[in-house]
Structure 1
Amino acid sequence: MSSFTQLTRFSNYITGSYKALVHGRGHWFAPQICNYTRKSAEERLGIDKPKRPLTPFFKFMTQMRPALLAKNPGITSKEAIAWTSKHWQQLDSETKAQMLKEYEKDMEDYKKIKDIYESSLTEEQKADIKKLREEMAVAREKRKLKADFKELGRPKKPMSSYFLYVQSRKETFQGKNIKEYQLKMKEEWLKLAESEKAKYEKQALELMNKYKKDIEAWELKMITIGRTDVVRAKPVRDKKSKSIDKKQ
């Protein structure tokens, strides 16, 4: 076992883990935290990165957790934080000072181990970590925007004529293999008479026209309340106008 691995394991033993605190405690915060945010870039790449020590408050929270859950097994995350905060404030200054002293010592150890860890990374690992962090940041922004759209009631883009047809045939699925069913629907759509397709295309066009009006009204509302960040950079344009622009 390398000296770095020994140091890392020692660090993890001393400092504990935010992951264990935030994600390993059953239902405390689990409803508020999604699976895709649980792993860091290093963890996803299989790199053993030293973990920061818990602050005195979070360390206190882990210590109080068993007693709190024993008394209140159905407690929510909000109630748990309020309960812990209340008892933290009531904690005597001497105990807090001792916990702070321990934290400062743990931080000194962590910084030394972190320096060793960072110097041990290869250029390739650094590049992989940087790239993955950027991808994760973009993904977080997309999730945030999607959540904002839902909260602010953004109109949903309607289905295409093909998916309207698939929806009309959903009763034929009945637990079949999804891939086989998709292939079957595609074959049916390709063989469908043009007159039948026209019905779905007309319905899709009507829904799209309604969507355009709804989205424009919604965006005007967003602008008035100062949420220009959720407004599209470019307006919705139909395919016909795009083809005209290309010809010109």
Structure 2
Amino acid sequence: MPQNEHLTTSRATVSGTATTALITGAARGIGLEVARQLALTGVRVLITARDSRQAAEAASPIEGVEPLPVDLDVTDPTAVEAAVEALIARAGRLDILINNAAASPDRTDTATGADLGAAADVLQVNLFGAWRMTQALLPLLRASDHPRIVNVGSGAGSHADERFGLSLMGGSAATHAVSKAALNAFTAVLAAELADTPVIVNVVCPGVTATAPGAEHLGARPVEASAPGVVWAATLPDDGPRGGFFRDFHPLCW
């Protein structure tokens, strides 16, 4: 099935007001492309970055995409609180939260050799950043008729990924893998807790994506090919899957 057939405009308006999404870490790369594609469905998209000026520059040429005017470091509770206040002031609602902010993986670290201070910093972004944003924004999401949470994960945090799974790669990129496995676990327990609510929670691996110059020559695909799976999870119908791990619309084991 063509990728664009998975996208939907059925929830582009809720009670006459534009459905609103917030994407963290979206001044470039996969986050920005998800914002662009999600806006094409009619969703009002607000993007954040640690530097709000970068978010503003990135959003400027894209119709339907706006910057949130705060410097959002998802590891900083004060910054998260400021982002919530700015979101309420600008949009007054939230229907979709996409936890995309992530630390760049160190491909060389291993479980035995990792700097645990640096590893803790990665977990603060990849796991606790998504956790913190979810806790802070859940009250707004609960007020939505069709709330969705999408955590952007990685096959590196699974046993099932045939290229980058936990038991592959000789144990390299250990911190990245552990943090993404933890994000899968967080998604599962959060979805279980919210099973009797309208809030649908899933984690999506966008695949190996060319977010840095030269990456495509190493087998990474362009962001345009990786974003639709995230957009799909953000626009699921009310009877859509919950607590799953997906890539390109298909479930993955983890």
Question: Shorter-chain TM-score: what band?
Answer: under 0.3
| Higher percent of residues as strand | 2
Q: Which has the larger radius of gyration?
A: 1
| Higher percent of residues as helix | 1
TM-score by length of 2: 0.22
TM-score by length of 1: 0.22
